[in-house]
């Protein structure tokens, strides 16, 4: 079973390399006629404004939910987790949630930038 451990990191690295290749491929292409560029710029501005507004709202909810998750995990958690207190587990879970949400947001912005 120890050999199986490396499947996930290797798959992750291969995925990132493939994404880098795709991004370079898309960004190296011609953007079209001047009229197409003008329309594309308008779409880009609208998409960027939408994402900023949406993620501002989502970030407020994410912070509130992170606190709730931390409190619930701390209240219901077990004391027998390698020397960590319930509070330690709770705040670490909240931080992990926020980091995951932040990575998701960054992925959304990068994807929208590449798409438009």
Q: What is the pLDDT of residue 82?
A: 78
The answer to whether 74 and 89 have CB atoms below 8 angstroms apart is yes
Q: What is the pLDDT of residue 84?
A: 80
Lowest mean pLDDT among 59-73, 75-89, 99-113: 75-89
CA dihedral defined by 69, 74, 75, 81, rounded to 10 degrees?
Answer: 130
Q: Would you list the domain boundaries of the chain?
A: 1-30, 33-115
Q: Give residues with Cβ within 8 angstroms of 57, minimum separation 6.
A: none
Q: What is the pLDDT of residue 2?
A: 62
Radius of gyration (C-alpha) of the chain in whole angstroms: 21
Span 53-67, pLDDT tens digits: 999 999 999 999 999
Per-residue pLDDT at 1 exceeds 60:
no
Segment 13-19 shows an average pLDDT of 93
Segment 69-87 shows an average pLDDT of 83
Q: What is the pLDDT of residue 67?
A: 96
- Give just the sign of the alpha carbon dihedral 66, 68, 71, 77: negative
């Amino acid at each position: 079973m120890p050999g199986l451990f490396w499947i996930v990191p290797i798959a992750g690295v291969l995925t990132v390399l493939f994404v880098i290749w795709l991004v370079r491929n898309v960004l190296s292409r011609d953007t079209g006629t001047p009229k197409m560029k003008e329309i594309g710029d308008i779409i880009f501005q609208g998409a960027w404004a939408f994402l900023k507004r949406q993620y501002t709202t989502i970030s407020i909810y994410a912070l509130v939910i992170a606190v709730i998750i931390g409190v619930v995990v701390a209240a219901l958690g077990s004391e027998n987790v390698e020397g960590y207190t319930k509070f330690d587990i709770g705040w670490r879970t909240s931080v992990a949630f926020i980091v995951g949400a932040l990575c998701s947001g960054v992925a959304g912005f990068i994807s929208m930038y590449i798409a438009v």
